Amino acid sequence: MRLPFADVVNALGGQPFDLDRAPKYVQISTDTRTLEPGHSFLALHGERFDGNAYTADAVERGALVLIVDDPGARVRGTTTLLVQDTLAAYLMLARLARDRFRGRVLGITGSAGKTTTKTFAAQLLETRYGNRVLAAPANENNEIGVSKLLLVADNDKHDVLVIEMGARHYGDIATLVETARPDVAILTNIGDAHLEIMGTRERLEETKWAIFSTGARAILNARDVASIRRAPSLLRPAHWFFAGEPGTDIPGHGRVTALHGSRHWVEIDGDRERTYEIDARMPGLHNRANLAAAIAAALELGVDPVQIVDEIPEIELPSGRYERIALPTGVVLIYDAYNANAAGMMAALDAFVHEDGGRRIALLASMAELGEGAADLHRRVGGHAAATNVDVMLVGGEFAGELAVGAQSAGLPSERIVPFMSNQQAAAWVREYAKPGDTVLLKGSRKYRLEEIVEELRR
């Protein structure tokens, strides 16, 4: 998005230098490696980098304006704005870009399923809007990622923005929503993620619920207890989504988008009901729920149901989500370890129960940032694994013992529970004991880097 330089100065304030060389419009870049001649460089910084150190490089590459928060980062002769905080400035500029964007914005948050739902929604929206849909390619869902997407948006190129919004701290979503102001917003669920940082369940709920604080049309999970409890506070009725097995009663009232198994989509709007035949091939009830949310959003943004039906067989999960990897040994790995919370762990295990072939081996690492309830949540996950009748369970990480205790309490014999101290040890066990036809689920927090096991077994 090209922003008038005068508006940028008015919005950011700060101390200007060399204004006589200022361009009429600016286009913001934060990375000198991708900066194009004529762009303006905003110097973000963090624990491991400081963009203020790269201003000379930015000018050499053609930057016409520098936005910095270190007086020593000035390059004489180049228009510069010295501000208090470049991250705050980046958010402010993103708000200016949002003011000028004439299309629609879909926001997505939740404790689990955000990236998957974003991917599904973008694919469905493309059936109407084609390449005029803009979504972040990865889970760039914090202040920097959301601002970047808004500043890349272009009215000549884009009609819809699909923005994922993540939160690690209390109030994070409110900041992102004030910036992005979504027209339609999906809340996938409110689980137990980041409780250690959020402090309480109430603070977690308040943080997620803020996605509706600027009046977005709400799309809510009909199985999420917190959403059901809070829905009456919305200014207008929610559009509910649901996924269940064939024959399951559809909960909720008003507007409901429901998937029954993988073959039927039921659309309810008050007294009107219509059923569509579909082919939803993704594994797991949780992924079909994400698809139902994406369908609801596509409908709210004007996509024709017939286009949605035609596109559903082509829908693909993003990388790292229930990703099936066939090894030369005849063992199949299912890598679903991009991240993990209790609800996501149990949902993956529920999908895993439907795997055919030889033994089902669940390789589970611990979860992170769960606070005081971490031990109990790990015992619950271990018990759930046992209840799904896994044949063997490998457990690792800080709460491996709690996973094992939960599984044993639910009836899994101790000789079928294998602790591992490192990814190399886990890979060695799979290489030695997994047989052709066996399927191994890898699930755990991102901090445990379970992709190392995949890399080791592929050698």
Q: What is the pLDDT of residues 211-249, one digit of tens each?
A: 999 999 999 999 999 999 999 999 999 999 999 988 888
The CA distance from 58 to 219, in Å, is 42
Q: Which helix or strand (DSSP H or E) is residue 265 part of?
A: strand 264-269
| Lookup: tokens for 233 | 């506070």
Tokens 């909720």 -> residue: 252
| Lookup: tokens for 384 | 């759930």
Query: Strand pairing of 25-26 and 3-4?
Result: antiparallel
Q: How confident is the model at residue 198 (pLDDT cuts 50, 70, 90)?
A: low
Average pLDDT over residues 440-458: 95
Q: What is the DSSP string of 409-430?
A: HTT--GGGEEE-SSHHHHHHHH
Residue 290, φ and ψ in degrees, nearest 5: -60, -40
The CA distance from 40 to 28, in Å, is 5
Q: How confident is the model at residue 151 (pLDDT cuts 50, 70, 90)?
A: very high
Other Cβ atoms less than 10 A from the Cβ of 441: the count is 26
The CA distance from 110 to 133, in Å, is 22
Average pLDDT over residues 195-209: 81
Terminal CA-CA length for the chain: 45
Nearest-CA neighbor of 297 among 211, 232, 226? 211
Query: What domains are defined for the chain?
Result: 3-93 (3.40.1390.10), 101-314 (3.40.1190.10), 323-458 (3.90.190.20)
Integer CA distances (angstroms), 131 to 142, 156, 216, in order: 24, 12, 24
- Determine contact, residues 67/60, Cβ cutoff 8 Å: no
- Determine contact, residues 208/224, Cβ cutoff 8 Å: no
**pLDDT given for residue 454 in this prediction:** 96
Nearest-CA neighbor of 326 among 318, 317, 338, 334? 334
Is the per-residue pLDDT at 371 higher than 90? no
- Phi/psi region, residue 125 (left: phi>0; alpha: psi -120 to 50; beta: rest), is alpha
Q: What is the pLDDT of residues 50-67, one digit of tens each?
A: 999 999 999 999 999 999
The CA distance from 401 to 33, in Å, is 46
- Determine contact, residues 149/225, Cβ cutoff 8 Å: no
- Where does 106-166 have alpha helices with state H? 114-129, 143-152
Q: What is the pLDDT of residues 316-334, one digit of tens each?
A: 998 888 999 999 999 999 9
Strand runs labelled E in 117-205: 133-135, 160-164, 184-187
- Determine contact, residues 261/245, Cβ cutoff 8 Å: yes
Nearest-CA neighbor of 321 among 126, 124, 113, 163? 113
Average pLDDT over residues 305-323: 94
The CA distance from 394 to 378, in Å, is 14
**22-31, 369-378, 410-419 — which is least confidently predicted?**
369-378
